[in-house]
Amino acid sequence: MPYLNADAAVSHRITELDIERRALWSGLLCSLFGLVVGLIVFAGERPALFGKLSVGVVSAVCGAAAAGCSSAYAFRTMLRAREPWLKRIPKWRQVVAALGLVLVHVASTVMILLVVFHLFQQAFFGLRLDVLAGSLAVGVATGMSAYLCLEATARINAETLSVVLGIFMAAGVLISMLLAEDQGWWQSMFSSLGTTQAGMGSFWTFNLTLVVSGLVLAAFSEFLTRDLVRLSQTYRCRPSLERYRLARMVRPRPRIVRWCLLIVAAGIIGIGLVPYNVSVEVHSALVQMASIAMIILLLGTIVLLPGYPAVFHLLSYAAVGAIWVAFLLWTEWMYYNLTGFELSVVAILFSWISVFIRTTSAMTQDRSQQRTTHGPEDISMAKKESGQGQ
């Protein structure tokens, strides 16, 4: 597998100072770009903070361009150098991972800048800026977008990427709720936010959030699989179970975990591309596909992820039980409608994924520290000292 011996070729060309220096240069150049665009667009105008052809809209467009270019540059020149295993996976998987990282930074930048300038417009009602002030605001927003996105991409890992995914999905869904023209959307189903009946703003925000989130989950699966492979290399069956042949045959299965996550990612992307009102059958099939893959992952943790703490496996089965109870609350006890059931399932699954990532990260760090503390050099030195003592 391309993940094996990932630490053997760690590059020392990209240091923390290199990332900081390049991020500062990126921020400076992109701020000048935003300034020039603002001077051109706002010439002879007094733009508002938010609205049509406003400081917020121009900042969002320039910030998205800066975020996309900075993130793509960081992935190509820095992240692949810091994570050499990325170069060894197939090209199409590198493209998918890069696309997910770039798009999540672009989409996050647009949402954040639009929300921030909308809030400022509400706070300073009626305020209009001159050409210079508006252009400077665009330049600052564009430069900050480039700086932060380059820093985030260059230092990305499985744990931080899971946080980005969770925050982005929550923010995107919340904004689509706020943009929904149909205030009673929740009385039918969660997927109604992605239909044109909910309004064009909600339609585009909800579906784009799902598509980008699916791509991010696909990129996340690469980083997670790398950590799982590293754990599988150091896995040892418990001595008390060595006498059982079946226990000796159980090994971590990173590939199966990765395929389950990829199926979930494909299902999320498909749900965003095929809204409920376009094709009920296809939309429902995609939801079922993602749900089955997730249930397999939850039920199979004890086989797919041996060596994890027992409480983690108990939590996985508790998550399945919680989903079943949520289903009964909807169908048998009529406690809430389909929207309530969908929100409950999403909350349960993302809570489990968060615990899964944090547990994997903790185990990876502990194994790395053990290898560092008890490396070959330490062992040889200990033998020499013991020999001298005798």
| Strand ranges, E, within 259-379 | none
Task: Determine how many CB atoms are found less than 10 A away from the CB of residue 154.
Answer: 24
pLDDT by 10s per residue, the chain, length 390: 566 554 444 445 788 899 999 999 999 999 999 999 999 999 988 999 998 889 999 999 999 999 999 999 999 999 999 989 999 899 999 999 999 999 999 999 999 999 999 999 999 988 899 999 999 999 999 999 999 999 999 999 888 888 888 889 888 888 888 888 888 888 878 888 888 888 888 899 999 999 999 999 999 899 988 888 888 877 766 665 555 565 556 777 889 999 999 999 999 999 999 988 888 889 889 988 998 999 999 999 988 888 888 899 999 999 999 999 999 998 888 888 888 888 889 889 888 988 898 888 888 887 776 655 544 444 443 344 334 434
Is residue 288 left, alpha or beta, with left meaning phi > 0 and alpha meaning psi from -120 to 50?
Answer: alpha
Please tell me the distance from the alpha carbon of residue 271 to that of residue 275, in angstroms, as a whole number: 6
Residue 377 structure tokens = 């050099």
- Considering the entire predicted model, what is its pTM? 0.82
Q: Helix, strand or coil for residue 332?
A: coil
How much is the pLDDT for 244? 57
Q: In the chain, what's the furthest Cα-to-Cα distance?
A: 89
Residues ≥6 apart with Cβ < 8 Å to 311: none
**Phi, psi of 38, rounded to the nearest 5 degrees:** -60, -45
Residue 83 has which token pair?
């994570």
| pLDDT, tens only, 169-179 | 888 888 888 88
Q: How far apart are CA 161 and CA 181, in angstroms?
A: 32
Q: What pLDDT score does 247 carry? A: 56
Coil, strand or helix at 11:
coil
Under a CB-based contact definition with an 8 Å cutoff, are residues 194 and 217 in contact? no
CB distance 109 to 60 below 8 Å: yes
Residues in the chain: 390
Side chain identity at 364, as an amino acid letter?
A: T
Question: Per the structure block, which two tokens stand in for 336?
Answer: 């809430």
Here the tokens at position 298 are 């939850």
Average pLDDT score, the chain: 85
Scan for tokens 């992307």, then name that residue.
Answer: 269
The Cα–Cα gap between 214 and 219 comes to 9
Smallest CA-to-CA distance from 171 within 122, 115, 220 is with 115
Q: 40-63: string of b/e by CB count within 10 Å (b at 16+)?
A: ebbeeeebbbbeeebbbbbbbbbb
Number of H helices, E strands in the chain: 15, 0
Give Cβ neighbours of residue 177 (< 8 Å, ≥ 6 apart).
185, 193, 202
Position 117 scores a pLDDT of 94
**pLDDT at position 23, please?**
96
Angle, CA 376 vertex, CA 375 and CA 378 arms, to 5°? 70
Of 364, 324, 356, 77, nearest in space to 217 by CA: 356
Contact 75, 105 (CB under 8 A): no
Closest listed residue to residue 257, CA positions, set 281, 285, 278, 232: 232
C-alpha to C-alpha distance for 358 and 316, rounded to whole angstroms:
14
The tokens describing 345, both together, are 């399932």
- Partners of 48 in the β-ladder: 128
